[in-house]
Amino acid sequence: MNRVEKIRETLKEQGIDALVVLDELNQHYLSVFSKIERRMGADVASNLHCHFSKIEWTDKGEKRHLTFDDTIYGPDYRPFAEAIKIGGLAPTVICESAGTQSDDALLMKKYYGDLK
């Protein structure tokens, strides 16, 4: 059982339905949202509670959260915002950038708002 499966099992035992680590799913956000909708329903997929941050990973797991200015680690917020827009979703997104949560959250919100 890998790290994500262990976390999912622990959450399931506590009555929490889902955990999706998008970074580990190679940023195929639309397919992930579609899979959540098929398995858990449109309401769940449309109203997800998401945390988003660039993250530095090591072979032991998550090392630290970074800012959107970081150019080495990802994921980039733009494909995530685009998938939300294309999918017509309305998730709650919590920005977890290290020390720049407010600035990065506003950057993501502006980018999302400017999408056609």
Residue 27 has pLDDT above 70, yes or no: no
Section 4-11 average pLDDT: 64
Residue 37 has pLDDT above 80, yes or no: yes
Is the pTM of the predicted complex or chain greater than 0.85?
Answer: no
CB atoms within 10 A of CB 74: 15
pLDDT recorded at residue 16: 61
pLDDT recorded at residue 22: 57
Section 33-45 average pLDDT: 83
Nearest to 24 by CA among 64, 76, 75: 75
> What are the pLDDT digits (tens) for 68-103?
999 888 888 998 899 899 989 999 999 999 999 999
pLDDT recorded at residue 26: 47
- The rounded percent of the chain whose pLDDT value lies above 70 is 78
> What are the pLDDT digits (tens) for 46-73?
888 888 888 888 888 789 999 999 988 8
Three-state SS sequence of the chain: CCHHHHHHHHHHHCCCCCCCCHHHHCCCHHHHHHHHHHHHCHHHHHCCEEEECCEEEECCEEEEECCCCCCCCCCCHHHHHHHHHHHCCCCEEEECCCCCHHHHHHHHHHHHHHCC
